[in-house]
Structure 1
């Protein structure tokens, strides 16, 4: 079971902040944990919830063996509530139901905890409803909000939370972990650039869909170099059929971003390591001749904008069509 000591190895500032508040008896009524995928947001939320409910605490660490700890691990504790997006967003009905639940006494104590996953997906109405909930905190109610994009959350909500900023896991640490699991160092370079989560990286490594996604992204970049007039057709025949789900579409754009970053890095410093496109290859040479540094910087901004549009639920086919045409110009 994960401990604060293990969290400290990965997130020293965040863990020290929370441990200090625990030791001083000043656990906040609301936390906002913000950081990229795989930075440990869920682990920290679970560990904090366990501490609050644990029957046999050992300092800041829960015991992991009491009935409360075990039920939290299994997702069956009656006074710990998880709120996750219903479809693409967290809706006002979900917050209403949470508030209703919290009007009742705790099933086994007065302590209650709620965790809001992907808090940046709260609709405006849901966010305003949650704000009212946060404005009148109960001493024994703790809110823990998790997000990859904290700046998308209402400033009035942010101001009522203790913000814990989680840092990306250093790529070399992640890379070494993957190599220790038997992943080739070149593949480990790519996976550690995509995620900070070891389990997710190993899952991608064994996933045929991911292998196909990587191939399509490389082909698309080659298409821009050799047959830019066919890019639009390629998007409809290859890209859209393969990247169907929202998470897959985001992954496709992440890979595309890494591919163009590889080309830019070779422009700037030829001895730098690439993560998607092989550097010792005629294709890299052709790509470097096809795109100037200024064009590559512009393309990277376009891809980042496309990623934001997907987050905002813009129609995915439209996002890719626009991106394809913008890169061509």
Structure 2
């Protein structure tokens, strides 16, 4: 579904404000560089800007998303908007040269032309140098939009010729609300939103059976630690290490376990709005009464330490056993 200006404004208020001001004052830059992590809306805003420049039914400067031009841009069929993607692993010189040749012609329907280079950091050195020449002689009717997740890999000479707009990671609340709007339960949406700030990744996790099992195994380990501590090692052996096999998976499992202990702190602080495991509140309140804030802080520290040691080539089985011992210490107030 196409995002409206208002929807993208919720995700990236500063970016949309700057783009909006440029459109209002009719001072659109000849070259932009949209940079930020994956899933923050860079490409969507690039197409939104293109629509704003071609829309025949704008509300002030905002595109209608429904006129012929807006629909053609959405479907990738507007003749005066050109998109360049990596050809294999890189964007090659020939692709930039073909673009320059295309832009030397008169626009099909107007004098304005827009080109969007996705993953601009993947340009070869020759491609980047060809683009640089293109940027040095801008046409007043040409707008370039470069999109990248790796701004440090863009030539300084190209950066200096672009207006750089930085896209911030999405807030958990924004991701959670979007997932709920797409039919994901509040419980799952809240957990996913606190494990990634990437909306695309969040959507992938929402349909991933492996992720669904993560939650179940983490909660099982936590409950066993509180009710049958001696069985915790069996859960580690039979469930945890069988599911979290790779280092990044194990780190992910620890991230979810961390959220459990954070929920206990929120309960003790009376901040129930921040709780992530909504369906576990009754149980968590019982556990929270049996321990102290200091102990929970120590347990959170132990999990952070386990994550750190995970990347020192420590044996995962030994790491988890040692973590379980630390988490078991002082579970109840004396």
Instruction: Give the shorter-chain TM-score range.
Output: 0.5 to 0.7
Matched with 2:156 is: 155
Cα root mean square deviation, aligned: 4.0
Matched with 1:116 is: 117
Offset at residue 125 of structure 1 (A): 2.4
Mapped to 2, the partners of 1:181 and 1:142 lie a distance apart of 34
Matched with 2:327 is: none
Matched with 2:106 is: 105
Q: Is structure 2 residue 269 aligned with structure 1 residue 258?
A: no
Matched with 1:171 is: 172
Mapped to 1, the partners of 2:111 and 2:213 lie a distance apart of 51
Offset at residue 167 of structure 1 (A): 1.6
Mapped to 2, the partners of 1:178 and 1:54 lie a distance apart of 29
Offset at residue 162 of structure 1 (A): 0.8
Assess, with a 3 A threshold, how the Cα gap between structure 1 residues 268 and 46 changes in structure 2: closer, same or farther.
closer
Q: Aligned to 2:129, what secondary structure does the other structure show?
A: helix
Q: Which blocks of at least 5 consecutive residues in structure 1 are unaligned?
A: 240-251, 303-322
Out of 251, 271, 276, the residue aligned to residue 265 of structure 2 is: 271
Mapped to 1, the partners of 2:71 and 2:183 lie a distance apart of 32
1:35-76 Cα shifts (integer Å, max 9, x gaps): 222222122111110111223333111233332222111111
Q: Aligned to 1:271, what secondary structure does the other structure show?
A: helix
1:265-300 Cα shifts (integer Å, max 9, x gaps): 78999637789xx9989xxx9xx799675563365x
Matched with 1:308 is: none
What are the residue-to-residue correspondences of 1:143-292 with 2, within 5 Å? 143-192=144-193, 193-197=195-199, 201-208=202-209, 253=248, 255-262=249-256, 271=265
* Bigger Rg over Cα: 2
Assess, with a 3 A threshold, how the Cα gap between structure 1 residues 175 and 93 changes in structure 2: closer, same or farther.
same
Assess, with a 3 A threshold, how the Cα gap between structure 1 residues 91 and 188 changes in structure 2: closer, same or farther.
same
Mapped to 2, the partners of 1:42 and 1:290 lie a distance apart of 38
Mapped to 2, the partners of 1:42 and 1:15 lie a distance apart of 13
Aligned length: 275
Assess, with a 3 A threshold, how the Cα gap between structure 1 residues 152 and 297 changes in structure 2: closer, same or farther.
farther
Do the aligned partners of 2:179 and 2:203 also contact (CA within 8 Å) in 1?
Answer: yes
Mapped to 1, the partners of 2:103 and 2:84 lie a distance apart of 13
Mapped to 1, the partners of 2:159 and 2:95 lie a distance apart of 20
Q: TM-score, normalised by structure 2?
A: 0.66
Offset at residue 206 of structure 1 (A): 2.3
Q: Which blocks of at least 5 consecutive residues in structure 2 are unaligned?
A: 219-231, 267-274, 288-295, 320-334
Mapped to 1, the partners of 2:162 and 2:59 lie a distance apart of 26
Q: TM-score, normalised by structure 1?
A: 0.67
Do the aligned partners of 2:63 and 2:70 also contact (CA within 8 Å) in 1?
Answer: yes
Matched with 2:134 is: 133
Assess, with a 3 A threshold, how the Cα gap between structure 1 residues 210 and 117 changes in structure 2: closer, same or farther.
farther
Q: Aligned to 1:31, what secondary structure does the other structure show?
A: strand
1:94-127 Cα shifts (integer Å, max 9, x gaps): 2222122112221122211111112222222222
1:238-272 Cα shifts (integer Å, max 9, x gaps): 76xxxxxxxxxxxx84x554334456778999637
Do the aligned partners of 1:80 and 1:114 also contact (CA within 8 Å) in 2?
Answer: yes
Do the aligned partners of 2:8 and 2:45 also contact (CA within 8 Å) in 1?
Answer: yes
